[in-house]
């Protein structure tokens, strides 16, 4: 499984294997970015905090592992290959239910890491 862009090609299986060992909670690895989109490999051992993005849409594909996505009040089990579209302002978080999950997150427009608004309580 590879991620290929004009600047670099990544062997995702190797990248996941090399980085999974030292993930305490969550580890993002930026794979590429333009002004319109950012691709991030996200390794999760635990779970994200509930949050939303004011100015970004997000598409997430589960590459490896298993878990559960919470999206605007609904929890859905995810298996490898599942893809979720998360529109801006939608409260969401991912919970890993295996050893370590690897997700490909695609933000539009480009993501600088600042547009993540924490939510205190979810049902």
pLDDT at site 123: 63
Among 114, 113, 106, 117, which Cα is nearest to 57's?
Answer: 106
pLDDT at site 58: 98
Reply yes or no on whether the pLDDT at 121 is more than 80.
Answer: no
pLDDT in tens, 7-57: 899 999 999 999 999 999 999 999 999 999 999 999 999 999 999 999 999
Q: Which residues of 44-69 are buried (b: 16+ CB within 10 A; e: fewer)?
A: bbebbeeebbeebbbbbebbbbebeb
Domain residue ranges of the chain, discontinuous segments joined by +: 25-118
Query: What pTM was computed for the model?
Result: 0.94
Mean pLDDT value across residues 54-69: 98
Average pLDDT of every residue of the chain: 96
Residue with tokens 């997000």: 58
pLDDT at site 66: 97
CATH of 25-118, one of 1.10.260.40, 3.40.50.1700, 2.60.120.10, 1.10.287.3510: 2.60.120.10
Distance CA 90, CA 98 (A): 25
pLDDT at site 7: 87
Mean pLDDT value across residues 67-84: 97
Indicate the pLDDT class of residue 104, thresholds 50, 70 and 90.
very high
């Amino acid at each position: 499984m590879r991620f290929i862009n004009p600047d670099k090609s990544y062997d995702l299986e190797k990248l996941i294997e090399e980085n999974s060992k030292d993930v305490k909670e969550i580890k993002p690895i930026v794979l590429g970015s333009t002004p319109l989109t950012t691709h991030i490999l996200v390794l999760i051992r635990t779970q994200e905090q509930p949050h939303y993005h004011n100015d970004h849409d997000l598409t997430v594909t589960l590459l490896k592992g298993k878990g559960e996505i919470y999206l605007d009040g609904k929890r859905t089990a995810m298996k490898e290959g599942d893809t979720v579209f998360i529109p801006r302002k939608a409260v969401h978080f991912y919970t890993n239910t295996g050893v370590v999950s690897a997700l490909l997150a695609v933000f539009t427009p480009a993501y600088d890491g600042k547009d993540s608004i924490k939510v205190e309580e979810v049902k």
